[in-house]
A and B are shown apart, each in its own frame.
Chain A
């Protein structure tokens, strides 16, 4: 029979082991981000110093100061923000309308429409891009933001947001709409004044997923854009090359930190919404 104290000691030991394990496992997740922020303030030649440093041995703004001169980075940041904002609003609109219709309205061929949407999802984006590339060129939209905005809002990827909204509206009690109807609201009024105001969780799930995806978009800009001042940040980051014949690693790392830090800060404040929203999209996707 075990005594109370040995039981207690075992508990403490197992806790210590668990904490050590958790801390060790955290390193590959946290260290790169920490290293990124601190390395922005290192001289370029310290990035590959041996032994490696986490804290700069010599703090300098030499790298950071070049972020906006090597590239039109402010312009590129604005590009990313405005494209992501339009994509987010557009996706919530398109997704909520269709999701609501599938959940609440009886209309002909709805089953077939649903099938078409499902099958659209099976077509890999990098396959569909070949004809789309040709059309974009014919429309004169090459080297513009149009494909970067329209493809995420209306493309097969939009179906995920439709599923999220459909699922959400199915779970809303029908009585709420009944009350709206008795108040004399038509279908559009019920959608806009009764259903949508209650759809906060679905809206935030779709908005977070779509904003992140659009802000981080890489493939489409790579295909459709040529001019640096039209680049979004994700593409711009890969083009911080040694412009003056000398390494500017610290500048590239600083620019990367500038794109990551705001997202992390928003995440820390709205963590629950991020985790719930993204795992919901994972589940329903």
Chain B
């Protein structure tokens, strides 16, 4: 048996009684073989469809590769030097951050607000919970297509505004409004999930703690700020992280609603990557953008992980 066994995740928590003798050794060997066979599919998958492709992306990034002409020539760091001075790439990176930050703030705030509302234990809150959650299970494409009609220049939202005597803007064709509009559509799509996570965390706050604070004369807002919120920080961290990472990856809503426009105002990095590779067929340069995207995502994960101690009450 290998020394690795002691480091097995979760291993050793359910120790089998150690039987003695040669047969048990043979049995342990069989067991180890079964274990490796069980993890083989997912391990091979992660290598073949994750790690190896990433290696290839780095390799491709060092080439000029145009599948249309069959050209594949070594160019060294040329793609990366082009990347450094490419305003489109940095602009789209900035757009991605803007998108993700705005979505994260709106989503987490609204999710918390909805969770607090639903936690008031009013009769009928289950129905509202269903309402808020239902867009989560609707496909992004369907949700986005419907909203595309509603936010159109002469769509439903501007129709309602017109009845109030207001001329609504062309939400998705206005360079300053397109990005926030897509964000809001996405927030309504996904906020139900975060709401559920917050609701579970709210219900996990021990009632005795809140009661004790109340007896000590703390008002409801003070109880929330000093008791509930600190106890919820692990959930808030988790939700913020998941929301941020999810938003950095946005693709379908952009492609369907704005195609990166107007101008470049909604060209996020994953959409730029898609266009560079699969529309302009510039696979070498697209690979360089892919490498950049990988390090950005990695950097974000490290950043969030390293700052967690500063504001998380307690690791669960």
Chain A interface residues (CB < 8 Å from chain B): 15, 18-19, 21-22, 25-26, 28-30, 32-33, 35-36, 39, 47-52, 94-95, 97-98, 100-114, 116-117, 119-133, 150-151, 153-156, 158-159, 162, 166, 170, 174, 177-178, 187-188, 212, 215-216, 218-219, 222-223, 234-235, 237-238, 249, 252-253, 256, 259-260, 263-264, 267-268, 271, 274-275, 278-279, 282-283, 285
B45 touches A155 (CB 8 A): yes
Query: Interface 1/0s, chain B 1-38, versus A by CB < 8 A?
Result: 11011011111011110000000000010111111101
Q: Which residues of B contact A279 (CB under 8 A)?
A: 193, 196-197, 200
Scan residues 237-267 of chain B and give those whose CB is less than 8 A from a CB of chain A: 238, 242, 249, 251-252, 255-256
Q: How far is the CA of A33 from the CA of B290 in the complex (A)?
A: 36
List chain A residues, Cβ under 8 A from B130.
268, 271
Q: Are B141 and A218 in contact (CB under 8 A)?
A: yes
Evaluate contact between B46 and A120: CB separation under 8 angstroms.
Answer: yes
In angstroms, Cα B7 to Cα A29, docked, is 46
Chain B residues with a Cβ under 8 A of chain A = 1-2, 4-5, 7-11, 13-16, 28, 30-36, 38-39, 41-54, 56-57, 60, 114, 117, 120, 122, 124-125, 128, 130-143, 145-147, 149-150, 152, 154-156, 159-160, 162-163, 188, 192-193, 196-197, 200, 238, 242, 249, 251-252, 255-256, 270, 273-274, 277-278, 283, 286-287, 290-291, 293-294, 297-298, 301
Q: Are A106 and B1 in contact (CB under 8 A)?
A: yes
Instruction: Report which of B1, B28, B47 forms a contact with A120, defined as CB distance below 8 A.
Output: B47
Contact (Cβ within 8 A) B193 A278: yes
A48/B152 contact (C-beta < 8 A), A113-B43, A114-B9, A128-B53 known: yes
The answer on a CB contact under 8 Å between B49 and A128 is yes
Contacts of A94 in B (CB 8 A): 41-42, 45
A154 to B41, CA, bound (A): 7
Contacts of A39 in B (CB 8 A): 149
Q: In the complex, which residue of chain A has the Cβ closest to the Cβ of B188? A: A28
Distance between Cα atoms of A223 and B283 in the complex (Å):
14
* Docked pose: A187 CA to B34 CA in angstroms: 8
Of chain B, the residue at the smallest CB distance from A181 is B16
Could you say which residues of chain B place their CB within 8 Å of the CB of A25? 114, 117, 128, 132
List B contacts of A95 (CB < 8 A). Answer: 42
**Is the beta-carbon distance between B141 and A238 smaller than 8 angstroms?**
yes
Task: Report whether B142 and A256 are in contact in the complex, using a CB–CB cutoff of 8 Å.
Answer: yes
- A283 cross-chain contacts in B, Cβ below 8 A: 197, 238
In the complex, are the beta carbons of B294 and A108 less than 8 A apart?
A: no
Q: Can you give 20 contacting A-B residue pairs, CB < 8 Å?
A: A15-B122, A32-B146, A39-B149, A103-B10, A106-B11, A107-B36, A112-B4, A116-B51, A122-B294, A127-B291, A128-B49, A130-B56, A130-B290, A155-B50, A215-B139, A237-B145, A238-B141, A259-B139, A267-B137, A279-B193
- The one of A127, A177, A188, A253 that contacts B57, using a Cβ cutoff of 8 Å: A127
Residues on A with beta carbons closer than 8 Å to the beta carbon of B249: 124-126
Cα distance, A285 to B42, chains bound together (Å):
16
The reply to whether A218 and B140 contact each other, CB–CB distance below 8 Å, is: yes
B5, A106: Cβ atoms closer than 8 Å: yes
Residue in A124, A133, A166, A253 whose beta carbon sits within 8 Å of that of B270 in the complex: A124
B296 smallest CB distance to A (angstroms): 9
A141 to B196, CA, bound (A): 40
Specify the chain A residue showing the minimal Cβ separation from B239: A282
Specify the chain B residue showing the minimal Cβ separation from A279. Answer: B196
Q: Bound complex: CA of A196 vs CA of B70, how far in Å?
A: 50
B293 touches A110 (CB 8 A): no
Q: Is the CB of B134 within 8 A of A106?
A: no
Beta-carbon contact of B156 and A110 below 8 Å: no
Whole-angstrom distance between the Cβ of A80 and the nearest chain B Cβ: 10
Q: Complex formed: what's the CA distance from A107 to B30 in Å?
A: 10
Verify A170–B10 contact, CB threshold 8 A: yes
Check if A105 sits within 8 Å of B35, measured CB to CB: yes
Cβ contact of A98, chosen from B39, B47, B159, cutoff 8 A: B39
Contact of A131 among B2, B57, B122, B188 (CB under 8 A): B57
A106, B35: Cβ atoms closer than 8 Å = yes
Task: Report whether B138 and A132 are in contact in the complex, using a CB–CB cutoff of 8 Å.
Answer: no
A212 to B34, CA, bound (A): 31
What is the chain A residue whose CB lies nearest that of B276? A130
Inter-chain contacts of B53 with A (CB < 8 A) = 123, 127-132
Q: Which partner residue on chain A sits nearest B33 by CB separation?
A: A107
Task: Indicate if the CB atoms of B5 and A253 lie closer than 8 Å.
Answer: no
Q: Does B32 lie within 8 Å of A107, measured CB to CB?
A: yes
How far does the alpha carbon of A234 sit from the alpha carbon of B36 in the complex, in Å? 37
Is A264's CB under 8 angstroms from B8's CB?
A: no
- Judge whether B188 and A156 touch: CB under 8 Å: no
Q: A32-B150, A105-B34 are in contact. Are A130 and B134 (CB under 8 A)?
A: no
Smallest distance from the beta carbon of A1 to chain B beta carbons, Å?
17
Q: Kindly list chain B residues whose C-beta atoms are within 8 Å of the C-beta of A49.
A: 159
Q: A52-B159, A97-B38, A263-B138 are in contact. Are A106 and B50 (CB under 8 A)?
A: no
* A158–B47 alpha-carbon span in the complex (Å): 12
Residues of B within 8 A of A154 (CB): 41-42, 44-45, 48-49
Cα–Cα distance between A158 and B39 once the two chains are bound (Å): 12
Interchain CB contact under 8 A, B150 and A117: no
Q: Shortest Cβ distance from B138 into chain A, in angstroms? A: 5
What residues of B have a CB within 8 angstroms of the CB of A116 in the complex? 43, 46-47, 51
